[in-house]
Chain A
Amino acid sequence: MTCAEFDVIVHDVARSDALDKPAAVIAKFHAQTCERCAARLAQAQVVAGALDMVAQDSAGLEASAHLEAALVAAFREYHRSLERARHRISRERLRWLEWPALAAAAVVLLAVGAWNFSRPRVANVRGNHASGQGTALAVPDNARNSGALAPKANSAAGESQNEMAVAQSETASDFVLVPYGEGFEPGDSGVIVRVEMPRSALADLGYSVDASRSADLIRADLLVGEDGWPRAVRLVR
C-alpha cells in the first residue's frame, strides 16, 4: 500500500468497523512502517474519538414535549378534515347519482299531478276517462281511450279494435315498470296518460341515453295506478 492509497482510507481505518478486515490489516501494517501515515492515523483516530464524544453527548437531545403534543393535535385535525372532505365528496357523488331518478320522478309526479288536477277522481281504465285537455300535459284522445294498450297491465278490456291498432302503431316499446314503484299485478286497474319528459329520464328506466340529447323531450305513456302513482312507462314514437 502506498501513502496516497492510505490517505484515501485513513478515516475508515480510524473507525475499525468501517472497513473490511483485510483492508484494515493492510493499512495498519502500512502505518506501522510509515511514520507519516502513523501520524495521520493518530490524528484521524483522535478526531473520530472526538466526534464519538459529541455524538454521545448529543444522544439525549430532543425536541420539546409541547411539540409532540402540537404535532399529534395537528395529525388528528388533518385526518378529521380529510374525513370531512370524504363525506362531502360522497354526499355530492350520491346527489349526482340520484339526480336522474329524481328528475324522472319529478316528471312523473308532474304529469300525474296535472292529470289528477284535470280529473275529479282516479278512473278505472274500463270506464270513460275525463278530458285531460287544457293541462300542460294533455292526454291525447287516443291515449285517453286506450286502456287496452297496457299489455302487461292486463287493463285493456272493453276498448275497440281500431283504437287499439292506432295506439299500438304509435308505441315504440312495451311497458317497463317504474323503478321504486309498487309494480302492477294482473287484474290491477289503472289509466294510461301520455306525457312528454326529458330523454335523460330514460336512463333510470334502463335505456341508454345519448348525453348530447339528454335535454330533448320525448313522448311516453304512463300507466297510473288507482292510487295515482305511476307504475309503468312505455315510449311513444
Chain B
Amino acid sequence: MPDRPELRDEELLRRMRAGDDEAFRSFYLRHQRPIYRFALHMTGRPEAAEEAVQEAFMTLIREAAKFDPARGTPQAFLFGIARNHVRRVVESNSRFVPLADDGDLQVRAGQASLSYGLGESLSDDLARAEIIELVRRAILALPEHYREAVSLCDLEGLDYAAAASALNCPIGTVRSRLARGREMLVVKLRPAAMKKPSRAAGGR
C-alpha cells in the first residue's frame, strides 16, 4: 500500500495504537528512507543501517503509546532511536570509524575536483561517483557529534529544531556542531575544492 499523504503522522500514530497495520505500513513507508540514510551516513554500512531501521520501528511498535508530541515530531523520535542504535554499533565495533584518516582523504581530494556539478562542470558520471564517495568518506571521518549534525541537517534536510529534538540537545548545540562539522569538511576537502575542474578529476 502506498503512503497516505492525506493523513498526518499524528493520525497515523493514533491508528497504529489501535492496531491498524495499514497505518503502520504507511508510516513506515513515509519514514524508513530518512532513517536508513541517516544510519548509513553514520556507519557507512548498509546492514547496520538496516538494523537501525528495524530497531527504530520495533521500538515504535512497542512504545507508540508513549510517544509525546510535545517533545518533538514522530520523525525526530525515530531518528533518536536510530541514533542510539548507531552509537551502540559504532561503540561495539571500532572498525566503523573512521573509515579514512585525514591524510588518505587529502590525497584523494587532491585527485578530484569538487567543482563538479557546480557550474563549469564535468559531465562524467565516473567523476561524480568518485566525488560522492570522497565526500562520504570525509563525512564518515568526522567525529560522531559533528557527523550527526551534518547528516541530519545537510543530508536529510532537518531544521535545527528537528535535529535538536532527534539529538536530544539544545538548538544552539546543533548549530555549533553543524558549523564545526562543515568547517572540518572544508579542511578535509580543501584540495578538491580548490582544484579547477578538469577531465583529470574523472580519473582519466
* Central interface residue in A50, A53, A57, A75, by most chain B CB within 10 Å: A50
Once A71-B54, A78-B61, A83-B19 are accepted as A-B contacts, the answer to whether A50 and B135 lie under 8 Å apart by CB is yes
Listed stretches A38-46, A102-110, A138-146, A215-223; interface member: A38-46
| B193 interface neighbour in A47, A72, A82, Cβ under 8 Å | A47
Instruction: Let me know if A8 is at the binding interface, CB within 8 A.
Output: yes
In the assembled complex, which residues on chain A have CB atoms less than 8 Å from the CB atom of B150? 51
User: Considering the complex, which residues of chain A in the window 36-67 have a beta carbon less than 8 Å from any beta carbon of chain B?
Assistant: 42-51, 53-55, 57-59, 61-64, 67
- B53 lies within 8 A of chain A by Cβ: yes
> Of B50, B128, B155, which contacts A64 at CB under 8 A?
B50
A11-B182, A49-B117, A82-B19 known; A55 vs B25 contact (CB < 8 Å): no
B39 nearest in chain A by CB position = A63
B67 an interface residue at 8 Å Cβ cutoff? Answer: no
Number of interface residues of B (CB under 8 A): 47
Contact A63 B132, CB 8 Å, known A11-B182, A55-B157, A75-B61: no
Chain A residue with Cβ nearest B193: A46
B41 to chain A, nearest CB (A): 7
With A55-B155, A61-B37 as contacts: A44 and B50 at CB distance below 8 Å: no
Which secondary structure dominates chain A's binding surface?
A: helix
Q: B179 on the interface (CB 8 Å rule)? A: yes
Q: Which residues of A contact B139 (CB under 8 A)?
A: 54
Cβ of B200 within 8 Å of any chain A Cβ, yes or no, is no
| A53 in complex: contacting residue of B49, B50, B132, B186, CB < 8 Å | B132
Residue A76 is within 8 A (CB to CB) of chain B in the complex: yes
Q: Which residues 153-174 in B have Cβ within 8 Å of A in the complex?
A: 154-157
Contacts of B58 in A (CB 8 A): 71, 74
Chain B residues whose CB sits within 8 angstroms of the CB of A44 once the complex forms: 182, 186
Using a CB-CB cutoff of 8 Å, which residues 11-34 of chain B contact chain A?
Answer: 16, 19, 21, 24-25, 28-29, 32-33
CA distance A59 to B38 in the complex (A): 11
A residues 81-134 touching B (CB-CB < 8 Å): 82-83
B114 in contact with A46 (CB, 8 Å): yes
Instruction: Report if A237 contacts B (CB, 8 A).
Output: no
